[in-house]
């Protein structure tokens, strides 16, 4: 090995030379002052760089980062939950359907109005339909259906509220 | 308190404990800041880029794969953010960054730094800042962060061979300066 290049010296200090190459380099360096000087300088660079110290980031950086994350999270508009919107819409359509069907059955002569004194007074103002509406709800089957639908609506509202609360908590947590 | 691994912290964040992200910030902020300061050569820019980097890391955690090395992934984001900021500042990024054939001409600053430093170690560390950006970053990631050349190549998006070439060139440039000032004579 007549010419010891910088490449070889870099491999030497990184311990990447094969044993036979290492022996050759050591042998050559003993005879070659210029190569020895380059090796010394390279070792000095290597040793100095190993003592390189990490610089300190600004003290309040963590707080700034967490605040930025929090702000970024708040800036994100919550997505509309189409699932709940669909459920409520279907429910509303169902309720309307039941009411319409009930009115039709009353029109057919199933209803028997029990007019209270109060309703007598309001009858002229609101009209005949309100009385029929009251009769409709006096039917036990209708009441059962409406109760079930109301229960479903309350459960849906509760679930929606819980989902919204969880989402808000998550945002605040950020 | 038990030292939590990066993955454990990430899992906790994914479960909804966003405040645990501060553990990762505290763990990596100094090293990431050192890297960015070298890229941007300005503390304010480095701080801004660091905040931006951590925000990107946080937003990207949901896509982070457990089998990957978190530090490598983070450094890659930090590195790219640094380059983006540098680019936006309209510096001559192509001239400085595009290839490994960067100019290792350290002579412009050599006399000034040589005259103001007290010892060889201080001199070398100051000259690292004068290396071309990629050369300096390889040195930082290799010596300060203890990354392997393979990891550095992933962070910087360069081949393993080119990464090694960059490291050798940087060391050689510094070595030549030591020879110029006969610093090697200080070594027994």
| Residue A126 or A1, more confident | A126
Check: CB of residue B29 under 8 Å from CB of residue B49. no
Look at the pTM and tell me if it is higher than 0.95. no
Q: Give the pLDDT confidence of B100-124 residue by residue, as tens digits.
A: 456 666 777 788 888 888 888 889 9
The reported pLDDT for the residue numbered A174 is 44
| A51/B contact by beta carbon, under 8 A | yes
Q: Would you put residue B105 in left (φ > 0), alpha (ψ -120 to 50) or beta?
A: beta
Average pLDDT for residues A139-150, to the nearest whole number?
A: 83
List Cα–Cα distances, B65 to A8, B6, B7, B10, in angstroms. 39, 12, 10, 10
Residue of B18, B57, B149 to mutate, testing the A interface (most A Cβ within 10 Å of its Cβ): B18
Tell me: pLDDT of A66 over 50: yes
What's the pLDDT score for residue A134? 73
pLDDT at A1 (0 to 100)? 54
When computed from its CA atoms, the radius of gyration of chain A, rounded to whole angstroms, is 43
pLDDT above 90: percentage of residues in chain A? 22
- The pLDDT assigned to A2 comes to 56
Packing angle of the helix pair B70-88, B21-40 (nearest 10 deg): 40
Q: Which residues of B touch A17 (CB under 8 A)?
A: none
Partner-chain contact A40 B128, CB within 8 Å: no
pLDDT of residue B55: 93
- Write down the mean pLDDT value for chain A: 78
CB atoms within 10 A of CB B179: 18
The two tokens of residue A90 are 């279907």
Query: Is the predicted pLDDT of residue A36 greater than 80, yes or no?
Result: yes
Backbone angles phi, psi at A60, to 5 degrees: -95, 25
Interface membership of B186 toward A (CB under 8 Å): yes
Answer whether B48's CB lies under 8 Å from B162's CB: no
Which residue ranges of chain B lie beneath pLDDT 50? Answer: 93, 95-96, 99-100
pLDDT of residue B119: 86
CA angle B33/B37/B43 to nearest 5° reads 95
């Amino acid at each position: 090995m007549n010419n010891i290049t910088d490449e070889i010296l870099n491999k030497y200090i990184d311990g990447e030379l094969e044993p036979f190459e290492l022996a050759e380099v050591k042998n050559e360096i003993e005879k070659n002052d210029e190569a020895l000087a380059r090796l010394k300088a390279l070792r000095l660079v290597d040793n100095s760089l190993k003592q390189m110290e990490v610089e300190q980031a600004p003290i309040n950086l963590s707080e700034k980062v967490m605040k930025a994350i929090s702000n970024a999270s708040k800036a994100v508009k919550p997505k509309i939950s189409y699932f709940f919107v669909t459920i409520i819409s279907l429910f509303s359509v169902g309720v309307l359907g039941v009411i319409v069907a009930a009115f039709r059955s009353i029109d057919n002569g199933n209803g028997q109005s029990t007019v209270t004194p109060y309703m007598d007074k309001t009858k002229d103002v609101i009209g005949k339909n309100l009385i029929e509406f009251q009769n409709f709800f006096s039917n036990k089957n209708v009441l059962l259906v409406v109760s079930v639908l109301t229960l479903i609506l309350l459960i849906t509202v509760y679930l929606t509220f819980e989902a919204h609360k969880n989402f808000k908590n998550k945002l605040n947590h950020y | 308190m038990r030292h939590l691994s990066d993955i454990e912290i990430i899992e906790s964040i994914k479960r909804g404990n966003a405040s645990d992200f501060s553990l990762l910030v505290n763990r990596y902020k100094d090293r990431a800041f050192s890297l960015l300061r070298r890229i941007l050569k300005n503390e304010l820019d480095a701080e801004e880029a660091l905040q931006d980097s951590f925000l990107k890391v946080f937003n990207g955690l949901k896509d982070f794969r457990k089998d990957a090395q978190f530090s490598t992934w983070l450094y890659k984001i930090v590195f790219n953010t640094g380059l983006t900021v540098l680019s936006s500042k309209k510096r001559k990024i192509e001239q400085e960054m595009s290839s490994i054939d960067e100019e290792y001409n350290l002579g412009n600053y050599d006399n000034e730094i040589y005259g103001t430093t007290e010892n060889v170690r201080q001199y070398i560390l100051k000259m690292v800042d004068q290396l071309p950006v990629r050369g300096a970053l390889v040195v930082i990631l290799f010596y300060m962060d203890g990354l392997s050349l393979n990891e550095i190549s992933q962070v910087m998006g360069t081949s393993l061979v080119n990464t090694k070439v960059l490291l050798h060139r940087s060391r050689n440039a510094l070595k030549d300066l030591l020879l110029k000032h006969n610093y090697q004579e200080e070594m027994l």
